Structure 1
Amino acid sequence: MRRLLLALALLAFNAGAAGMIDPEDGMVDMSHYLQDNPYGFLPIPVVITEPAVGYGGGLFGLFLHGKGKEIGHRFIPPAMTAFGGGGTQNGTRFVGGGHRHTWQDDRIRYLVAGGYANINLDIYSGDIAGFGSNRSVEAETRGYGGMQKLLFRVGNTPFFVGASQFWAEMSISAPSNPVIDKTWKRVLGETSTSSGLGILVEYDTTDNFFWPGRGVSLSGEYQFYGHYFGGDYRYDLMTLDGKYFIPLSPRWSLSIAANYQKLSHSQQHLPPMARPYIALRGISRYRYQGENVSTVQTQLAWQATPRWVVLGFAGAGSAADSASDLYNTAEVAWGAGFRYLIAKEYGLHTGIDVAFSDHEQAVYFNVGSGL
């Protein structure tokens, strides 16, 4: 952590020499550096305090290929590429990258990403030696995979339709528990492949990809996993996601988000990571899983200065095997953070969130709203 903070301080100290001082307000701004330098990138530090994998860090670079353009009230971002990696104290290692591109004034959208990871993660639930949210199995998952999405705008409307693909090959083991390790290998095999295709529908009226100030973003995706696509397991996953960005005043804004996932399967056993989980800042990944998972969250932001934003957030999530049992019990998380407008030509904000839940706390570096 000390090395990372020192590196950030040196970056700010050398900003003037690199042409990253905005002459209008004298603040650090990377807009022209990213636009004019073909090798220029925004360094995104990854400080990991995720309770599920322990403390660690890494670094990603975000490359913006162009300036983007304004069409009406919307800012269409340029093509962008990100890649990097990191690790944590419990031996978790990861490396990966992705690329997003649009064509014909945002009439076609494409996203592709992939990577490799060796993740040491506590598995709390599942149909193979899972014990629930208070007891866990120490699992080591190694594998690589990727995903891609392609969307087409419907006429001149905010609607998009398209398709998605996901593929991953992984192995899971329990080095500290020979009995469970042997059970997993007998049921799941030495390695397993998950492969699926999906259909997508989106509705998007937000004004900025990096920092939406107003508008609605809705999406629905249904993914089919099975042997026909090269996978070892047959199941379906439906995901519904919505975000609403509301300007309350020139300085105050409210964001509301909700997500619902439903897993349908006929096989008796699935890999533990195939199941949806509660994804909220402040709650360990994969701690609360179920065949039905729902989250709701809200975030209030105050524009303290033209560059600085202070925000607070709260959310709740529930995981259950039946949709009717959702929110019989719920997990709650909350926190606060800040954002700095690091590239005003793009509306690109970056900053830190500190989040809490009943038994955990974590720090997150975020690019964008964090929702």
Structure 2
Amino acid sequence: MGEYLAENAYGFLPVPVIITEPALGGGGGIFGLFLHETDAEKEARRKLALESLDGGARLIPPAITVAGGAATENGTWFAALGHRRTWNKDHIRYLGGIGYGDVVMDIYDDFGGRLPASQALGFETQTEGYGVIQKLQFRVQDTPLLLGFSQFWTRTEVSASNQVVDKIFQRVLGKSTTSSGVGFVAEYDTRDNFFFPTDGYQVTAEYMFFRDGIGSDYDYDTFALDGQVFFPLSKQLILAFAGDYQSMRSDDQSLPPLVKPYVKLRGISAYRYQDDYVSAVQTQLMWRIDPRWTLSGFIGTGSAASESHDLYEHSETAYGTGFRYLIARRYGLHTGIDIAFSDEESAFYFNMGSGF
């Protein structure tokens, strides 16, 4: 597969999308993964791949284009086009995407902390619209540090299956809503592979401003800090840790339901635990049985609260196991399945990459 992707100028990897996210229900679709390289880049990757199993995978990642769509049983569907590219020996990075979709999702309300997060009342919402995301980063000299700018824009229509809630949405949010923001991003990245790292770490911080002056219907700020670290314990064992912290600050109490951050862990439904402050930490142990197959076990805990100092007063835990198969050795591209459990549910996920 790696040779085909490298040698065929129009070659691409068809990636079947099998959706098992509990918040959306079962579903699927397909995306095309295109890897773009010059003849010189292909030859360099081919030579290194002949010298070692992961030699080609340690080079600068090629330009990537992804396009496709998917749908689920609860009525959710989406289509998207994305592109990632680097210039000047990875001293400039660009990431951009555009998409359109109709997302049906349960949103939970704890009524300002009056109810425990596990007993929050849920109601079904439907968010339909399109959006654009862009990120441009510049490397500081020859260090692992990259600084840059980010941009996010969406225009959506929000409704609810509950007639009372739907009337509130229409009165408060109007027929359609626009979120438009710009921000700053800093990233420190020493990982040995973009697709499936086994050594090094990455830390990313991003602060975004959403204001009326740049086309947003609402004024709010978001901050996200996340990181991953990989420790090779031996040739077969890799210990990994990941964590993230998200916050949102606004004087506006009437925001679209998908704006607030939520706990992101395998085994917990997306947007199940959502508030102004969110944090999650997890660890994963990977066992490389042979150059193609890797088994893993993971556990994580997350918390959502209306104030940062209340984080982890109540928390949710999820755990599970999975595997990865090296499908394109030249690029270090892995695919596989994770099975995860929490107190409320269980789920399995089809993943491309390390899984975090």
TM-score for both structures, normalised by structure 1: 0.88
One-letter amino acid of the counterpart of residue 261, structure 1: Q
- Whether 1:214 aligns to 2:199 is yes
Which segment drifts farther, 359-368 or 196-205?
359-368
Q: What pairs with 1:35-184 in structure 2 (closer than 5 Å)?
A: 35-66=6-37, 67=42, 74-125=58-109, 133-134=118-119, 135-174=121-160, 176-184=161-169
Give the whole-Å Cα distance in 2 for the aligned partners of 1:182 and 1:326.
33
SS of 1:233's partner is coil
Deviation at 1:361, TM superposition (A): 1.3
CA 1:104–1:72: 2 relative to 1, 3 Å: farther
CA 1:65–1:72: 2 relative to 1, 3 Å: closer
Segments of 5+ residues of structure 2 without an aligned counterpart are 49-54
Which segment drifts farther, 229-238 or 360-369?
360-369
Residue deviations 1:276-302, cap 9 Å, x none? Answer: 000111111111001110000111000
Query: Root-mean-square deviation (CA), in Å?
Result: 1.9
One-letter amino acid of the counterpart of residue 240, structure 2: S
Residue deviations 1:82-105, cap 9 Å, x none? Answer: 111111111111111200000011
Any conservation in 1 of the 2:57–2:331 contact (CA below 8 Å)?
no
Segments of 5+ residues of structure 1 without an aligned counterpart are 1-29
SS of 2:59's partner is strand
- Runs of 4+ in structure 1 over 2 Å off: 67-75, 125-128, 130-135
Deviation at 1:256, TM superposition (A): 0.4
SS of 2:207's partner is strand
Any conservation in 1 of the 2:57–2:329 contact (CA below 8 Å)?
no
One-letter amino acid of the counterpart of residue 234, structure 2: S
- Whether 1:354 aligns to 2:339 is yes
Give the whole-Å Cα distance in 1 for the aligned partners of 2:13 and 2:283.
28
- Whether 1:225 aligns to 2:196 is no
Give the whole-Å Cα distance in 2 for the aligned partners of 1:47 and 1:221.
30
Deviation at 1:365, TM superposition (A): 1.0
Give the whole-Å Cα distance in 2 for the aligned partners of 1:75 and 1:282.
33
Any conservation in 2 of the 1:98–1:113 contact (CA below 8 Å)?
yes
Give the whole-Å Cα distance in 2 for the aligned partners of 1:119 and 1:72.
38
Give the whole-Å Cα distance in 2 for the aligned partners of 1:127 and 1:119.
23
Match of 2:51 in 1: none
Give the whole-Å Cα distance in 1 for the aligned partners of 2:200 and 2:60.
14
TM-score for both structures, normalised by structure 2: 0.92
Which segment drifts farther, 47-56 or 298-307?
47-56
One-letter amino acid of the counterpart of residue 115, structure 1: G
- Whether 1:259 aligns to 2:230 is no
CA 1:271–1:228: 2 relative to 1, 3 Å: same
Match of 1:14 in 2: none
Residue deviations 1:159-210, cap 9 Å, x none? Answer: 1100000000011101x31111011110001100000001011111111101
Match of 1:282 in 2: 267
Give the whole-Å Cα distance in 1 for the aligned partners of 2:111 and 2:224.
21
Match of 1:334 in 2: 319
Match of 1:32 in 2: 3
Any conservation in 1 of the 2:57–2:330 contact (CA below 8 Å)?
no
One-letter amino acid of the counterpart of residue 35, structure 1: A
One-letter amino acid of the counterpart of residue 7, structure 2: D
One-letter amino acid of the counterpart of residue 247, structure 2: K
Give the whole-Å Cα distance in 1 for the aligned partners of 2:329 and 2:351.
16
Residue deviations 1:196-255, cap 9 Å, x none? Answer: 001011111111101111111011100000111101000000000111011000000011
Match of 2:52 in 1: none
One-letter amino acid of the counterpart of residue 97, structure 1: L
Aligned length: 340
SS of 1:35's partner is helix
One-letter amino acid of the counterpart of residue 69, structure 2: G
One-letter amino acid of the counterpart of residue 73, structure 2: Q
Match of 1:367 in 2: 352
Residue deviations 1:285-327, cap 9 Å, x none? Answer: 1110011100001110000111000111111100001111000
Give the whole-Å Cα distance in 2 for the aligned partners of 1:253 and 1:241.
20
Deviation at 1:266, TM superposition (A): 1.2
